[in-house]
Amino acid sequence: MPELNSLKYKIILASGSPRRQSLLKELGLDFRVELREIDEVYPPNLMGKEIAEYLAGLKAAAFKSNEIPDDHLLITADTIVCVDDKMLAKPEDFAHAKKMLQLLSGRWHEVITGVCLKSNKKQIIFSASTQVRFKTLTLSEINYYIENYKPYDKAGAYGIQEWIGFIGISEISGSFHNVMGLPVQKLYEELIKF
């Protein structure tokens, strides 16, 4: 990570997502995890990337600037799935997850991750978008996946790095890692600029 060697900040990741934590580790960053509870509610007039960026900013706003030491940088993120101008959040239960996967089956959808970088002096918010296409999934494939992988913590009710991604995703345009929950390449560029 030659370019990040000059990064003068210690990183705080405000995410309990094991996928985001793993991706930051793979990027070669040392960080600590610090969580704050927020209600992930957004204004109803927002669409697509506006929602993802708003929620990433909302998560950062839970940390007041004076709570972030001078030499620290906070990273927050939120991933959403959009299909037919409808936003799919995390499923509430088995039936909800099944309904989501049936909606995504045989179609393209968009995965958007909003990211906020915040120090005690400045803040930037950006997002990345990836187009993903599922093959037509059978009911038994959908049921098997939900029963065995319990994707209740994932927007759109699936993880691309899990079984359903291996057997079900036929095409992807954009960042694979963005679909996992963090656009690592774009984050790398933004960290260098920050």
Q: What is the pLDDT of residue 4?
A: 61
Reported as a single tens digit per residue, the pLDDT across 39-90 is 888 999 999 999 999 999 999 999 987 889 999 999 999 999 999 888 998 9
Q: Tell me which DSSP letter residue 105 carries.
A: T
- Side-chain-side CA neighbours of 176 within 13 Å: the count stands at 9
Number of domains in the chain: 1
Q: Tell me, what CATH number does 82's domain have?
A: 3.90.950.10
Is 78 an active-site residue?
Answer: yes
- Which structural domain range is residue 112 located in? 3-193
Residue 185: per-residue pLDDT: 95
Give the pLDDT confidence of 86-140 residue by residue, as tens digits. Answer: 899 899 999 999 999 999 999 999 999 999 999 988 999 999 999 999 999 999 9
Per-residue pLDDT at 145 exceeds 60: yes
Nearest alpha carbon to residue 142 among 87, 94, 88: 94
Position 2 confidence tier, pLDDT thresholds 50, 70, 90: low
- Measuring CA to CA, how many Å separate 28 from each of 3, 25, 45, 177? 11, 5, 38, 15
- The one catalytic residue in 78, 85, 93, 153 is 78
